[in-house]
Structure 1
Amino acid sequence: MPLHPEIAKVLAGLPAPPPGPLEPAAMRAAEEADVPPAEERLPLHTVEDLTADTDAGDVPVRVYTPTDAEQHGLLVYFHGGAFFLGSLETHDHIARALAKETGLKVVSVGYRRAPEAAYPAGLDDCYAVTRWVAGHGEKLGWDGATLAVAGDSSGGTFAAAVAARAHDDGFDRITHQILYYPSLDLDFDEDRYPSLRENAVGYGLETAGLRPFNSFYLNSGADPGDPLVSPIKRTDLTGLPPALIVTAEYDPLRDEGELYGRRLREAGVRATVSRYSGAGHGFVQHFSWLPAYQRVYAETREFLGRS
């Protein structure tokens, strides 16, 4: 199907990006300015800002509790933003929707971002908070069962890397990984995947923008050949947690996500790949209010409910 008309209308109304190099501070400020006030956000039983005292240092987290039940499963969420954008605030609505729809307590991670924090600071924060969550299950009201990791875009990179790192460390508590249009291969050679050419221009995220947007991360020491940077480079995928991989029809990153799902299945890992027609990169963050895409949260709940 063609690009969803509402998405096309929004993209047509966007101003051209300013000339010159990307300015992280200005781009972050513009993102934060679009965040709705607290009173307009989806209500939950409680939303609490905490500091996780982890092996990587103190990491800010926001904990979303959907109901007054004494115990919940846990979902650790990593926001997207090309490793230098995004925050607890800009992705607050995703965490709220996940908590409400899945019934899990969501712990959103305010990890350190490039370029101020060199690799692997952000990944270390995400992994350390996942371990911290499991170690503080009684305080958090964890039911001891579900412990999922999830992320969108570069947050999906972190979710996949955290799941792999946990497996290698013998930390076997992660039960699910949920990757929304993940960036799994930071080698941006346009010949690597057809979607890099098919969806190169006109759908929001453009192939030519991948290198400059990810340059802050890569220039901080992240090696695209490292499987913790590009999870699709991992040769042995056996033993990883079951995965839900959500892709978008008009996303340059579509094919690497779908290839990762096929490789997981070939390695004996239960993996569900779900392509959303008419959508572009970032649709969970920006367009999940559209009826065609609201089901992404229900699909997440259904995936988490399968053993």
Structure 2
Amino acid sequence: MRLYGEMAKAKGAPIVLYFRGDAFQGRAMTQAERPVGTALAAAGATVVEADYARGSDNRFPQAMEHAFMALAYLSTKRKLYGGLTRSPLFVAGDEAGGNIAAGVALKARDVQLGDLSGQILLSPLIDPMMASQSMREAGELSLRERWAEGWSHYLQAGCGFQHPYAAPCLCSRLSGVAPALVVTSQDDPLRDEASGYAERLAASGVAVSKTVLPARCGWTGIYNGADGPWMAELREEFIRFMQQTSA
């Protein structure tokens, strides 16, 4: 696990457990910090990144189980990260990390962890069928190939294909899961599956904040670790989301 910047100084500041993307193909957490983690930290949160790939080889169910172990650890160790016993605790992830975050949120509900304040899903890679219209219209052929290879690796030739923790978009019971902030963009190949999941969560009674950023903000740069104007947008969206969940 790695801490982004310094621990938030505000008393009772929220703690965010962050999972990076890399299409289920990154072998371990690299030295470089991701702009997503930097943006969330700039919103006043203590951001901790968990290396779910180490020891799991980015395969289901080990990767998701490692990520859940990190959440269970943080839920009892918040004081070590500058928080209070009941400081708000969030999970966040982009692309493949968004899949992990969504699966962790589902398991937290199922095992009644009880204190997950919200899930932040940033263009989550949650549909192994890859059949959405935005995916079909995507001009980035290399991204589609990368995601197809990533799904094949993560699911180990079919293992977990129908499991809701592996493919959250296939989950038939979404009620009771933690509130969600879902972010995508107009030019995002994952836009439709992200929006569809947000709509299904809302239809199940989950509090959802969905944001579709304009194409000009450079949102799809998250797939190669690039920063951009979207960082300020994400910071503001997260601040609003924290206010909504605390209310």
Give the alignment's TM-score, normalised by structure 2: 0.87
Cα deviations across residues 145-165 of structure 1 (Å, max 9, x unaligned)? 311100000000011000000
After TM superposition, the structure 1 = structure 2 runs for residues 1-307 of structure 1, keeping only pairs within 5 Å, are 61-64=1-4, 65-69=6-10, 71-85=12-26, 87-101=29-43, 103-112=44-53, 116=57, 118-143=59-84, 144-188=86-130, 190=131, 193-199=132-138, 201-202=139-140, 206-219=143-156, 222-278=159-215, 279=218, 281-283=220-222, 286-290=225-229, 294-307=232-245
**AA at the equivalent of 1:197:** R
Sequence identity of aligned pairs in percent? 28
Cα gap change, 1:205/1:238 in structure 2, threshold over 3 Å: closer, same or farther?
Answer: farther
Shift of 1:71: 4.2
What SS class does the counterpart of residue 297 from structure 1 fall into? helix
In structure 2, stretches of 5+ residues that fail to align are none
Distance 1:293 1:129 in 2: 25
Distance 2:88 2:9 in 1: 18
Shift of 1:281: 3.3
Shift of 1:79: 0.7
Count of aligned positions: 240
Shift of 1:239: 0.6
Shift of 1:275: 0.9
**AA at the equivalent of 1:178:** I
Give the alignment's TM-score, normalised by structure 1: 0.71
Aligned twin of 1:56: none
Contact kept? 1:95, 1:106, Cα under 8 Å: yes
Cα deviations across residues 257-305 of structure 1 (Å, max 9, x unaligned)? 1011111111111111111121563448644423x55311211121112
Contact kept? 1:205, 1:281, Cα under 8 Å: no
Distance 2:10 2:208 in 1: 30
Distance 1:141 1:98 in 2: 16
Q: Which has the higher strand share?
A: 1
**Computing the radius of gyration over CA atoms, which structure comes out larger, 1 or 2?**
1
**AA at the equivalent of 2:74:** V
Shift of 1:141: 2.7
Contact kept? 1:75, 1:105, Cα under 8 Å: yes
Cα gap change, 1:268/1:98 in structure 2, threshold over 3 Å: closer, same or farther?
Answer: same
Cα gap change, 1:198/1:129 in structure 2, threshold over 3 Å: closer, same or farther?
Answer: same
**AA at the equivalent of 1:195:** S
**AA at the equivalent of 2:134:** S
Cα gap change, 1:115/1:241 in structure 2, threshold over 3 Å: closer, same or farther?
Answer: closer
What SS class does the counterpart of residue 275 from structure 1 fall into? strand
Distance 2:92 2:56 in 1: 23
**AA at the equivalent of 1:120:** P
Shift of 1:220: 6.7
Aligned twin of 1:54: none
Cα gap change, 1:289/1:258 in structure 2, threshold over 3 Å: closer, same or farther?
Answer: same
**AA at the equivalent of 2:112:** G
